[in-house]
Structure 1
Amino acid sequence: MGGPVEQGVWGSVGAQGVRGEHTRGGGGGGAVPGARGVVQRASVRGQVLDALRAALVAGELEPGEVYSAPVLGERFGVSATPVREAMQQLALEGAVEVVPNRGFRVVRRGERELAELAEVRALIEVPVVLRLARSVPGERWAELRPLAEATVRAAGAGCRATYVEADRAFHRGVLGLAGNAELVRIAEDLHRRAQWPLVRDVAGLVADAAEHVALLDALIDRDVDVARSLVREHFRVR
């Protein structure tokens, strides 16, 4: 566990916000005894989970390295418990694996696994988008314009953590038009797993974001042939 790597994580995700949330957790009355503490604990865990996900995408948590919950907790200014709970969630997502009596090892994800994830995503998302292209009116697609533009801004700024959130939001918005919550949940889980390590450089992110805009333009124009070409290209492994 290299110190410089951990410092990068905390410096980039705002550990002070997590620390402040933690220190407010002791005491205070309420209509339901203990409810405030439970809510705040969940809030701390959520903030730690978001920070760890951002660190994975940025490459600040290195594949193959083992990280202990107590040490990470010290860096965040929280106890090891919310860190351990966040890491358990990442283990369920396949991002880390438990190393008994040591902590959690960041999983190495090779080109083949990333290609397989892209293939599964394509099998799910491409048919759905093409079906929606034939049935959803242009004005509904136009409502997603801010989501596509957000990916363009994030890519142009070179902020990977912001880009991955904007990227998922755009795909979630598109698939949400199918009205199938389970579809959205499964697709987003696959999408999140495919986002780390984020191997593309800034130019690659800009190209991906441009594809979002081009696809949306085709969908607004009800041009199914162009939409088909663009959505298939979007899932090509790069």
Structure 2
Amino acid sequence: MARPPHLALPSFARWTSVREEVTAVLRGAIVSGEMRPGELYSASSLAEQFGISATPVREAMLDLVKQGLVEVVRNRGFKVTEISEADLDHITRIRQLLEPTAAAEAVPHVAADELAALRGLASAIVDAAAEGNLVSYINADREFHLRLLRAGGNHRLVGIVDDLRAQTRLYGLSALVASGRLVDSAQEHVEMCDLIAAGDARKLRKLMDTHLGHTRREWAGREAE
């Protein structure tokens, strides 16, 4: 079997929860477009890149199969699940209906320590954007948004949003890195933290709606409407 293209993946030699970390990184690679539909990926080849055994990688891939992100190709490996442009439009619209309102409702419930954690994640997002590390960018972005929504206390909504985020595809991120524009989008997370600190739920809701609009325009490789 032909070897898959080399991916910019980190080593997990010293990580403790390997299966979960591999799952998170592979999910980020799928969402960011590092791993594309049509390419075959084997657990052994990915494990070699990670610097670990194939077992946790295979387990991680099977977790992603259950989540609908990859499919098993019998006797060959795994491939990323295809998602249509219409599906991606629908996913984004649902997120825009849910997340801005939920984020605004969470504002009065964000404690000082949670805000500090969100600021740390916002900084990590900006750093990853500046470095062009798309997998780290996606994973820090995911944790930021889910952590904010968890403050609202609606865990069912958090689970729904997490599933929707995993189905999103952001194939335009590489071009934004090349142009230096991804840092501008990343900076919106810092602005969100400032609005939370100010208790301005109305402006946060508006910014979140604008932010999510990027998922089917600039971040997807489309021209802004």
Equivalences for 1:57-136 in 2 at 5 Å?
Answer: 57=31, 59-69=33-43, 72=46, 81-133=55-107, 135-136=108-109
| Contact 1:141 1:220 (C-alpha < 8 Å) held by counterparts | no
Partner of 2:135: 161
The reply on whether 1:12 has 2:21 as its aligned counterpart is: no
Residue number among 199, 202, 207 corresponding to 2:172 in the alignment:
199
Q: 1:72 to 1:228 in 2, by over 3 A?
A: closer
Q: 1:77 to 1:184 in 2, by over 3 A?
A: same
The more displaced of 65-74 and 111-120 is 65-74
Question: Residue type matched to 1:62 in 2?
Answer: R
Question: Residue type matched to 1:65 in 2?
Answer: E
Q: In 2, Cα distance between the equivalents of 1:140 and 1:78?
A: 35
Q: CA deviation at 1:87?
A: 1.8
| Contact 1:69 1:80 (C-alpha < 8 Å) held by counterparts | yes
Secondary structure of residue in 2 paired with 1:235: helix
Partner of 2:153: 179
Equivalences for 1:135-146 in 2 at 5 Å?
Answer: 135-136=108-109, 139=112, 142-143=115-116, 144-146=118-120
Question: Residue type matched to 2:200 in 1?
Answer: D
TM-score, scaled to structure 1? 0.71
Q: CA deviation at 1:145?
A: 1.9
Residue number among 173, 182, 207 corresponding to 1:230 in the alignment:
207
Q: CA deviation at 1:66?
A: 2.5
Q: In 1, Cα distance between the equivalents of 2:53 and 2:119?
A: 41
Partner of 1:221: 198
The CA RMSD over aligned residues, in Å, is: 3.1
| Contact 1:138 1:222 (C-alpha < 8 Å) held by counterparts | no
Q: In 1, Cα distance between the equivalents of 2:114 and 2:19?
A: 35
| Contact 2:4 2:40 (C-alpha < 8 Å) held by counterparts | no
Q: 1:52 to 1:170 in 2, by over 3 A?
A: closer
| Alignment gaps of 5+ in structure 2 | 218-225
Question: Residue type matched to 2:198 in 1?
Answer: D
Q: 1:218 to 1:92 in 2, by over 3 A?
A: same
Q: Number of residues paired by the alignment?
A: 210
Q: In 1, Cα distance between the equivalents of 2:31 and 2:205?
A: 29
| Alignment gaps of 5+ in structure 1 | 22-39
Partner of 2:3: 3
Secondary structure of residue in 1 paired with 2:35: coil
